[in-house]
Amino acid sequence: MNHYRICVYAISKNEERFVKTWAESMSEADKMIVLDTGSTDGTVEQLRACGAEVHTAHFDPWRFDTARNRSLALVPEDYDICVCTDLDERFHPGWREKLEAAWAEDVSLANYRYTWNFAPDGSEGVVFWIEKAHARHGFEWVHPVHEVLRWTGSGAQGRTVSVPGMQLDHHADLSKSRAQYLPLLELSVREEPMDDRNLHYLGREYMYHERWDDCIRTLKQHLALPTATWRDERAASMRFIARACLAKGQREEARGWYLRAIAEAPHLREGWLDLARLLYDGGEWEGVLYFTGCALAIRERPHSYICEAASWGSLPHDLRAIAYFRTGRCSEALEEARKALALAPGEERLRKNVEILEQLAQS
């Protein structure tokens, strides 16, 4: 196996409680470089004690891409692979060996499995594949928030490879505010109004802030862009429009948008389940059974961030169990309730559902 010089680089601010676990998981790299952007706790001192090279800088106004690019510039020119992480992330052991095995001289970017969040019981939540391991030269970070790597090198970009078994976990500090995200996304769209990804993220952020009309307007703009061709993201925009319509009391409008999302990306469970939940709220039990059945027929979990944890957890079986019960089919309801409980064994409501259905089956 070839040996490549690998540097992990990151930005930090007031993250002392993550330092030790981050440094331990990143220690397989040849070098760890952190650009601290204003910590007032012990982050800097602890990083240095753990062997990281730490620099400091202040950014006003704040932009994630500017900070990322400054941290990348600190990586020595003669390194081969750069891996960008945050301090609340941890690699599983053995990641370096797997990355080196997949890398080659004509490779410039690698993607690997990323767990974005975890359920209270410790099970994985949202899981997708990210591309934050890259060649030392030819890349820069772009966008004030939700920043991504963009190729700026001379000539064609090298190959992108997937790294089986390379796993990064995100253990977010939920006490940190997301307040800066919305203004930064609005700035991002002003800077690049034809960037479809920015518009999708901005529309989603408006949804999070319950600004329903702004959400609908922005996501319709996303769908109208000629560059908005990725079906998964288009379907997500349609589903978010539907959620905004529901919040405005426009049930039939929402149903139409859910149907459009399914037609756009029938290979994703999310659209099928969103419509099943809409029908559940209306007591349309046969519809619930049909659409949850369509969702469960999709057995391969996608690698994209569009994939939602609930779609691959207990939800489809839970909805089916209730729909079967409401239509008098208790044996089928029990079977689905058991499947739901198996996927979420710590959920008390699901356990009670199974107990009730078992009692009914014995009576």
Token pair, residue 169, equals 């976990």
Residue 305 inside a domain? The answer is no
CA angle 103, 107, 113 (to 5 degrees): 60
User: Is 11 in the same domain as 115?
Assistant: yes
Identify the pLDDT of residue 1.
60
Residue 247 inside a domain? The answer is yes
Q: Is-contact 138 152, C-beta < 8 A?
A: yes
Token pair, residue 180, equals 């800066």
Domain that holds residue 218: 177-266
Domains held by the chain: number = 2
User: Is 142 in the same domain as 241?
Assistant: no
Nearest residue to 294 via CA among 309, 314, 272: 272
User: Is 19 in the same domain as 152?
Assistant: yes
SS3 363: coil
User: Is 125 in the same domain as 204?
Assistant: no
Give the Å distances, CA to CA, from 201 to 1, 182, 218, 306. 40, 9, 9, 12
Quick one: how far is CA 214 from the chain centroid?
Answer: 23
Last residue of a domain, one of 233, 266, 299: 266
User: Is 24 in the same domain as 121?
Assistant: yes
Q: Is-contact 225 231, C-beta < 8 A?
A: no
Give the whole-angstrom CA distance, residue 26 versus residue 21.
9
Identify the pLDDT of residue 194.
95
Identify the pLDDT of residue 51.
97
Token pair, residue 162, equals 């997937």
Nearest residue to 257 via CA among 247, 271, 277: 271
In the numeric block, the tokens 């569009």 are attached to 306
Last residue of a domain, one of 266, 297, 323: 266
- Dump the DSSP string for 318-334: HHHHHHHHHTT-HHHHH
Amino acid at 279: L
Token pair, residue 51, equals 């062997």
User: Is 191 in the same domain as 162?
Assistant: no
Mean pLDDT, consecutive 10-residue segments, the chain of 363 residues?
A: 90 96 98 97 97 97 97 98 98 98 97 92 89 98 96 95 97 80 96 96 97 98 97 98 98 98 98 98 97 97 89 96 97 97 94 95 83
User: Is 10 in the same domain as 152?
Assistant: yes
CATH number for 80: 3.90.550.10
- How crowded is the C-beta side of 311, counted as CA atoms within 13 Å? 26
- What's this model's pTM, rounded to 2 decimal places? 0.90
H or E element that contains 130: strand 127-135
Query: What 8-state DSSP symbol labels residue 7?
Result: E
User: Is 156 in the same domain as 208?
Assistant: no
Residue 116 inside a domain? The answer is yes
Q: Is-contact 328 302, C-beta < 8 A?
A: no
Last residue of a domain, one of 144, 170, 196: 170
Q: Per DSSP, what are the bridge partners of residue 36?
A: 12, 56
Token pair, residue 226, equals 């000629």
